[in-house]
Chain A
């Protein structure tokens, strides 16, 4: 309980740091010094002090969207374990609530985008719903594989027991397949390369960034913070399932989990530095591949 609270505090405090780490790694690969690690914090504070400009086309849906999105991702965070540190609220079936809370976040973001009546944002919304429908299959089937292996239905139990048997066939095969699938889903859902380019701001190639073109001030701060937390939540799920963190000391486990998330951010930075963005028609293929990996994992688990 204490450590679960601590995990949430760490997540709330350090989630924006992930973006800083990723950008630093990319700058390193590009031979630049890059922005400060704390850049997203500065941005958030700047945005929180600003007023607001709303399009005349928009309605209350546009104004409420960021609040609901942030609330949804906070709910997901409360249900997410980190390694062997259980979630604050854990019960059989919580993994579905996490997935659908993230779905709610996406739904309101898409609606807010459509509310502006802009063709750009409509385009982003259209792509977002297409890709997320495929990503959700990979994510849920992947979790099903681990759940079938562990015979549990709660993320916290999955995370605690995924590695309890040590590294042995077929557990390691399942977890490797699921980890690969979840990494693809994480990159797709968090608007990272090779699915989406977080650097370009006005290109027709974008998905997530273009949906929030019209948001500003407090609303944008909420969206950016919610996105950072979403990366943390999905990273924590990936880390919990993929990394063996078996020590008897809860505090050590928590710190190890935090370290693992930071390493994940490094990894994302490396991926973004060495890969180009995929053509949009290729994106569904990669997502379906992730889905197939998840299916394979279930089949191994069913043996």
Chain B
């Protein structure tokens, strides 16, 4: 805990140093890295020892004291913030190198503040400090998103994010008011029961769901993440949206045993969010936008797992509940690892070519071998393929669902979970086959892609380290579950965990061996192939074009053609727009096809709703005409009313 207070102080000092108009801004990334490393150490040791600590700082705040605490649930998120925060800072130093020094220094100021605010959110033990830290987190990330504000579209994306996150916070304010009815917002006293518990849960779903990206509250995600600098996208996608899930988990600990309806709600939200996320990810042509939608998908999987866990608790089934909660927490960790890796990879591509439009890229694996290989590991991991870590967490969700069906506790939700996950998994594999295949394989589709260069050593080092972590957490799923188990047990009834965990360990141990055997077998076969080809002729030639001898890079399958069949299958949801300039006449000169898949929830839910809101607001325009005496009249009238109310 002391370590974490030092971290916070270091981060604030770093932020202050960057905000000063001096050259001290250069220490920003170092302060962030150092503090984040310290934080991850603190988080990890608490996870191992399972200790619970709280401190009350001698600061007087309105409503409450400043109380911070560290338990396994907080520690898990502290660990994530630390690891990804440190790696993103190292990467970001390379990524921002060469940009305007003043602008960079300011960006590091916000970065330090963001990491500090996220730490404070997960450490907060009173509602007041939680909300303040939450707000600082939102504002700091807003300023980070609009780093390149002079580019078109960046500010607009920033505003969308700012409005969405504040709407979410409004729900959280009401939620804390409901929770803290006896006057204190101290977490130890927060509680609710019956109808008001369900109301609190619903408010938490909306408030925290906006940050986490539950459909249809996800609309800010695919706007804000692509325009942010890539290390910021990685931190936001990998960690910050998970803070929303942390909030949900923390609130669940106040509410007592959940009724089955909450589990059902989360399973439905998860299935819808996952499927919508992966389908829109498939339809995107910009790499970072695709990754942002894929974060929506993964948040859906986490919600699905959490829903299974709550159903298990409601039914008193120790296996389903333990598997579900562990799966949710494990997927939080795994997604943080591979999604930040993928955003780092996308950043390296943008750095090298100046674009993330997939149809301008191609063949980058040969020019950027380290970035490409790391990205491939991330792509396979997020597609839940063995032997990588994504498979472990999805395996646990499946296991929970299979158990729920065969034990008959909640068969329908189990069926929804299995069918949903199977479809999401298949489509995610398609999505990342496209993301990696179109960008890194084949022939370059533009001059920029031909002249790409490998990223700097620090950027590459970060990516390779994350790729190694993906493999190691895939092989060591057993230890991963051991580490998240104390955090999971905070959400489970006390008598539920031990036996269920043992079955879990047995399964994951076998999977670890199987994964190791798979890697060894593939390596052995590669060795065999090399040995067989050693003394034989190995030639290079053109790709076989079925007799056509002058193929060009433009004839390759493109990002949009690769997913066109799936797009047709789900046309009712995706509503892809086609702009076709067809060839005409006997001697056609040119033809063009452009496709674009805007978010259906923006188009047919939020845009019409906002238009209605604007029309309603216009009716009140007469009240405010900018005349000073009118304003004074309002003030006097208000004061008079208050006076009458007070006296009467």
Contact = CB atoms under 8 A, between A and B. Distances in A.
Given A57-B363, A59-B365, A133-B426, A295 B415 contact: yes
B422 interface: yes
Contacts, number: 259
B406 A137 contact: no
Contact of B556 (A89, A110, A118, A202): A118
Contacts of A51: 533, 536-539
Interface string B526-552: 100100110011111111111000010
B529 A148 contact: no
Contacts of B544: 55, 116, 118, 213-214
A41 interface: no
A91 B553 contact: no
Contacts of B296: none
B507 A56 contact: no
B550 to A, nearest CB: 13
B199 interface: no
B355 to A, nearest CB: 19
B433 interface: yes
A203 to B, nearest CB: 10
Nearest to A119: B555
Contacts of B546: 120, 202, 213
Nearest to B545: A118
Contacts of B376: 61, 111
Interface in A287-303: 291, 295, 298, 301-302
Nearest to B517: A75
- Which among B362, B391, B525 has the highest number of chain A CB atoms within 10 Å? B525
A160 interface: no
Contact of A123 (B437, B510, B517, B557): B557
Contacts of B402: 144, 147-148, 153
Given A126-B557, A130-B430, A148-B411, A295 B395 contact: no
A74 B514 CA distance: 11
Contact of B405 (A58, A137, A148): A148
A137 B553 contact: no
A127 B386 CA distance: 23
Contacts of B401: 144
Contacts of B540: 53-56
Given A100-B386, A116-B543, A153-B406, A122 B561 contact: yes
A1 B47 CA distance: 40
A115 B441 contact: yes
Report the interface size class on chain A: 35 or more
Interface stretch (A11-19, A101-109, A258-266): A101-109
Contacts of A39: none
B641 interface: no
B619 to A, nearest CB: 49
Given A125-B437, A136-B425, A214-B543, A152 B406 contact: yes
Contact of A117 (B406, B543, B563): B543
B565 A107 contact: no
Contacts of B563: 126
Contacts of B9: none
Contacts of B556: 117-119, 122
A129 B536 contact: no
B462 interface: no
Contact of A144 (B366, B395, B405, B525): B405
B543 A136 contact: no
B80 to A, nearest CB: 25
B441 A107 contact: no
Nearest to B415: A298
Report the interface size class on chain B: 35 or more
A183 interface: no
Contacts of A267: none
Given A61-B441, A93-B507, A100-B384, A147 B526 contact: no
Given A111-B441, A125-B557, A103 B365 contact: no
B545 A284 contact: no
A52 interface: yes
A interface: dominant SS: helix
A50 B539 CA distance: 12
B442 A115 contact: yes
B425 A103 contact: yes
Given A55-B543, A214-B544, A144 B415 contact: yes
Interface string B370-394: 0010001000100111100001000
Nearest to B387: A104
A137 B423 contact: yes
A246 to B, nearest CB: 22
Contacts of B423: 133-134, 136-137
Interface in A56-91: 56-61, 63-64, 66-68, 70-72, 74-75, 78-79, 89, 91
Given A54-B540, A101-B386, A136-B426, A114 B533 contact: no
B573 interface: no
Nearest to B506: A91
Nearest to B380: A107
Contacts of A119: 551, 555-557
Interface string B33-74: 000000000000000000000000000000000000000000
B326 interface: no
Contacts of A176: none
A141 interface: yes
A116 B555 CA distance: 12
Given A74-B521, A118-B551, A119-B556, A126 B562 contact: yes
Contact of A61 (B365, B411, B537, B566): B365
A132 interface: yes
Contacts of B518: 71-72, 75, 101
B399 interface: yes
Contacts of A120: 545-546
Contacts of B564: 126
Interface in A157-197: none
Contacts of B617: none
Given A144-B402, A151-B406, A71 B366 contact: no
B521 A52 contact: no
Contact of B529 (A67, A110, A132): A67
B636 to A, nearest CB: 67
Contacts of B415: 141, 144, 295, 298, 302
Interface string B497-527: 0000001001100110010011001101110
21 contacts: A61-B365, A67-B525, A70-B525, A89-B510, A92-B503, A97-B395, A104-B385, A114-B437, A117-B441, A119-B555, A129-B433, A130-B569, A133-B566, A137-B422, A140-B422, A148-B402, A148-B405, A148-B411, A153-B403, A291-B419, A295-B415
Given A104-B385, A117-B551, 6 more contacts: A59-B372, A59-B441, A97-B514, A100-B384, A116-B543, A302-B405
